Amino acid sequence: MADKVHVRTTINGEATEFLCEPRQSLLEVLRDVVGLTGSKEGCNDGNCGACTVLFNGRMVTSCLVLGVEAEGKNVTTIEGIATPAGLHPIQQAFLENAALQCGICTPGFIVAAKALLDREPNPSEQRIRLWLAGNLCRCTGYDKIIRAVMDASKKMQEVKAR
């Protein structure tokens, strides 16, 4: 076993330090070292999207990033999407549109949807389907998830227009 590495990073806006083995994935570090278990492991090979986080604003599956790669980076997890003032509109839309059943894929979907709406505030249904094709949901058939993202997009633009 190699020595642990000291990593300085920013997670959900807070300066964070941790020790990790070079072989540990960012997902493993987030869950087992930092204690942020909102990012889920569904496959550990980048195919289900349940561990989706923002890495310097870019959407990544954290199971395919090494913990040591977080050095000097900015990581946003599901735990960093809401603010003390309240839920993010995407989170609220997921609740109101019943866009979750078991809820295990929900964190990944919400983070991925945020990445989309951050760069494209008004995506089409097809665009949302393409963007979220890397996130698997087995419960909903995606219908209500797509509707929730469209709903959030609409409401975020209404707020902006005010």
Partner 1 sequence: MTTTAPAPEYSVIGTRPIRHDGLDKVIGRAKYAADIQMAGLLSAKILRSPHPHARIKSIDTSKAAALPGVRAVITAADIPAVASDRMQDLGETAVRLRFLSSNVLAGNKVLYKGQAVAAVAATSAHIAEEALSLIKVDYEVLPPALNVLDAMKDGAPLLHEDMLMQEFGQRTTKHSNIANHFRFKKGEPADGFKQADVVVEREFNTAAVHQGYIEPHAATANWNVDGKLTIWCSTQGSFNVRSQVATLLKIPESNVKVIPTEIGGGFGGKLGVYLEPVVALLAKKTGHPVKAIMSRTEVFEGTGPTPGSYMKVKMGANKEGRITAAEVSLMFEAGAFPGSPVNAGAMCALACYNLDNAQVDGYDVVVNKQKTAAYRAPGATHAAMAVESVVDELCENLKMDPIDFRILNGVKQGDRRVDGPAFGKVGFMEVLQAAKNHPHWKTPLTGKNRGRGFAAGFWFNAGGPASCYIAMNPDGTVSLIEGAADIGGTRAAIAMQAAEVLGIPADKVTPTVVDTDSIGYTSLTGGSSVAFKGGLAAYEAAQDLKKQLIERAAKIWETTADNVEFEKGEFKLKPSYERKMTFTELAGRLLTTGGPLAGRASVDARGVGPAFAAVIADVEVDPETGKTQVLRATIVQDAGKAIHPSYVEGQMQGGVAQGIGWALNEEYFFTNQGTMANPTFLDYRMPTALDLPMIDTVIVEVANPGHPFGVRGVGEVPIVPPPAAVANAMKRAIGVRMTDLPMSPGAVLAAIQAKGNGKR
Contact set with partner 1 (CB under 8 A): 1, 21, 23, 31-32, 35-45, 47-48, 50, 77-79, 81-82, 87, 91, 94-98, 100-107, 110, 125, 128-130, 132-147
CB-wise, 106 or 153, nearer to partner 1?
Answer: 106
CB of 14 to partner 1, least distance (A): 15
Q: Where are the alpha helices (DSSP H) in the chain?
A: 26-28, 89-96, 106-119, 125-131, 143-161
Q: Provide the minimum distance between the beta carbon of 142 and partner 1 in the complex, in angstroms, as a whole number.
A: 4
State the sign of the Cα–Cα–Cα–Cα dihedral 104, 66, 19, 81.
Answer: negative
Distances (CA, A) of 113 to 4, 24, 91, 130, 159: 34, 26, 10, 11, 18
**Closest CB 33 distance from partner 1, rounded Å:** 11
CB 104, min distance to partner 1, A: 3
Minimal distance, residue 68 CB to partner 1, in Å? 15
Judged by beta carbon, residue 72 or residue 124, the one nearer partner 1 is: 124
Task: Report the alpha-carbon distance of residue 51 to residue 107 in Å, rounded.
Answer: 8
Name the residue nearer to partner 1 (CB basis): 5 or 104.
104
Partners of 58 in beta bridges: 55
- Comparing CB distances to partner 1, the nearer of 13 and 72 is 13
Which is nearest to 50 in space by CA: 134, 117, 126, 141?
134
Closest to partner 1 by CB, 22 vs 72, is 22
| Ramachandran bin of 142, using left for φ above 0, alpha for ψ from -120 to 50, beta for the remaining angles | left
